[in-house]
Amino acid sequence: MDRIYLDHAATTPMRTEVLEAMIPYLTDKFGNASTIYGWGREAKKTLDDARASVANRIGADFNEIVFTGSGSESDNMAIKGIAWQYSDRGKHIITSQIEHHAVLDSVKWLEKQGFEVTYLPVDADGIISVDDFRAALRSDTIIASIMHGNNEIGTIQPIQEIGQICGEHGVLLHTDAVQTVGAMPVNVNDLNVDLLTLSAHKFYGPKGVGALYIRKGVRLAPLVHGGGQERVRRAGTENVAFIVGLAKALELAEAEREVVIPHIQRLRDVLLTGLEKIPNVKVNGCRTRRLPNNVNVCFQFIEGESLLLNLDMKGIAASSGSACTSGSLDPSHVLLALGLSHEIAHGSLRLTLGKDTQKSEIDRVLAELPPIVERLREMSPLYNR
Amino acid sequence: MSSACEKCHRYTIGSFYQKGDHVMYTDKVMDHFQNPRNVGEISNADGVGEEGNARCGDIMKLWIKVENGRIIEAKFKTFGCGAAIATSSIITELVIGKTIDEAEQISNNAVAEALDGLPPVKMHCSNLAANALQKAIDDYRAKVKVS
């Protein structure tokens, strides 16, 4: 049985071209970029090239890119780093109820240290209101962190407008663009952001490497102290091979984006249309302001984990916002923020397509899923009630 | 982040897409999940028990038929995860043929053991089945008392 991978929002397979670009730096070209001899200079040159390449693709300058170990690290670094650096200016932070936990748990941790946080709600479509954002601003607001594309329901937030407002009020804006980089145009100047998080493994690069864009003039306290790497913003010997992988993956994703993304979106629409034919199904998140590869639906009367297990037995990999898939009691905070009841949110299914997803795979999912849903409903005491 | 559910007093121990606590099921759990025994309802049941709530993501309803103090038939319907469905299925197998007094002795641990164990985060699912059984037995006893 051929397996079908539809969890590209979780991670993507690394491209072979990326691996090939990385291998020399895992083997012969092993130098520490901080050393002055040949091996070191070679590593430094490679690092510089990667940094310039990444900066160029998101409209940033060379010195505005810091490489990190993950998207989560970039989020933590942006939020805690700014909060610590500018705490004398104010203690207020604005974020949303639908952020990734790397952001939510960071601001919750800062709350324990005396910072105050406003968690903006979203409408039923999963979009933050620009007016709400404006109303939440205070004289002591120092940073806002609003994600670009939501990892669960795929909604795209009005970052550009929010960024403009932040600029007018002297508030720094961070955006987690982990889901959008490679999937749509991401330019830090067009978005009006001061800090931006990206992660390589979401665009066919390696896991364990991310980047944080920090606008020139913005200072932040480092999370990791030690050497002077990354202009004293993140100590630790640079992971040259993985940084090369990130840069290569981004280069390829951007080169192919205009061809690949419409293809993914067409297949996504086929999948969504097919799923909507199943009775008692609800589509989560705005249909238009949405990541091109994201499908998120709730099947009434059934629970997400049993759905995932059944799909797994058919070789289909997907995700759910059900409590039982996470070992947590509550279903996804994002689905609850949409105003869904717990009961409905427990029955969510997320399918995220990738560049190699085939029409035949979508057809197979559409053939396998309805009988699974039907069987679980037949077993459910909530059905036919 | 840790908060107890007001209704079932279970605790939140993780968050969305946090796959650190990898849930691995035994073959027995997967067998009962894939081929659940005794799914359905008994129209003229002698006892019915329902446990759980949709808010927490699992509800089990259990029907029992009793003859001469012995459970001769048991059927269930469950809304819930793989472990919830598997524990529901196995408890019907455990109770059929047992007297009411014997069935009442079936603990949640016995349910988990019959499935060769459950992942720690799923142990509460065995309570679901054991509690539904107790409620079905209580219902049976209440009916017998009245008649």
Mean predicted lDDT score pLDDT of chain A: 96
Question: What does the pLDDT look like over A19-32, one tens digit per residue?
Answer: 999 999 999 999 99
> What is the least distance, in Å, from the CA of B140 to any CA of chain A?
20
Question: What does the pLDDT look like over B76-90, one tens digit per residue?
Answer: 999 999 999 999 999
Catalytic residues of A: 324
Supply φ then ψ for residue B113, to 5 degrees.
-65, -40
- Domain B28-146 fold: Sufe protein. Chain: A (3.90.1010)
**pLDDT class of A328 with cuts at 50, 70, 90:** low
**pLDDT class of B4 with cuts at 50, 70, 90:** very low
| Predicted pLDDT of residue B23 | 62
| Predicted pLDDT of residue A104 | 97
Q: What is the CATH number of domain A4-11+257-378?
A: 3.90.1150.10
Domain ranges of chain B: 28-146
What value does the mean pLDDT take over residues A29-57? 97
| A323–B56 CB contact, under 8 Å | yes
Cα(A308)–Cα(A303) distance, rounded to whole angstroms?
A: 9
A26 touches chain B (CB under 8 A): no
Q: Which amino acid is at B14?
A: G
CB-defined contacts A:B, below 8 A: 111
Chain B residues touching A332 at Cβ < 8 A: 16
Measured between alpha carbons, how far is residue B44 from residues A240, B47, B75, B133 in Å?
Answer: 71, 9, 12, 17
Contact B51, B140 (CB under 8 A): no
What stretch(es) of chain A map to CATH 3.90.1150.10?
Answer: 4-11+257-378
A196 touches chain B (CB under 8 A): no
| Predicted pLDDT of residue B124 | 83
A333 touches chain B (CB under 8 A): yes
| Predicted pLDDT of residue B19 | 37
Q: Find the closest chain A residue to B9 by CA distance.
A: A329
A385 touches chain B (CB under 8 A): no
For residue A326, pLDDT over 60 is answered with no
What value does the mean pLDDT take over residues A341-362? 96
Chain B residues touching A379 at Cβ < 8 A: 36, 39, 77-79, 85
Architecture of the domain spanning A16-252: 3-Layer(aba) Sandwich (3.40)
What value does the mean pLDDT take over residues B8-35? 62
DSSP B36: -
Chain B residues touching A280 at Cβ < 8 A: none
From B34, B56, B79, residue closest to A329, measured CB to CB: B56
Kindly list the residues of chain B whose beta carbon comes within 8 Å of any beta carbon in chain A: 1, 3, 5, 10-19, 21, 23, 30, 33-34, 36, 39, 50, 54-61, 77-85, 121-122
What value does the mean pLDDT take over residues A59-84? 98
Supply φ then ψ for residue A98, to 5 degrees.
-110, 15
pLDDT cut 90: percent of chain B above it: 71
What value does the mean pLDDT take over residues B7-31? 55
Beta strands (DSSP E) in chain A are 4-5, 65-68, 92-96, 116-120, 141-145, 172-176, 195-199, 210-214, 281-283, 294-299, 316-317, 348-352
Catalytic residues of B: 56, 125
What stretch(es) of chain A map to CATH 3.40.640.10?
Answer: 16-252
Question: What does the pLDDT look like over A234-285, one tens digit per residue?
Answer: 999 999 999 999 999 999 999 999 999 999 999 999 999 999 999 999 999 9
Mutate to test the interface with B, among A72, A119, A151, A329 (most CBs of B within 10 A): A329
What value does the mean pLDDT take over residues A95-103? 97
For residue A65, the SS3 value is strand
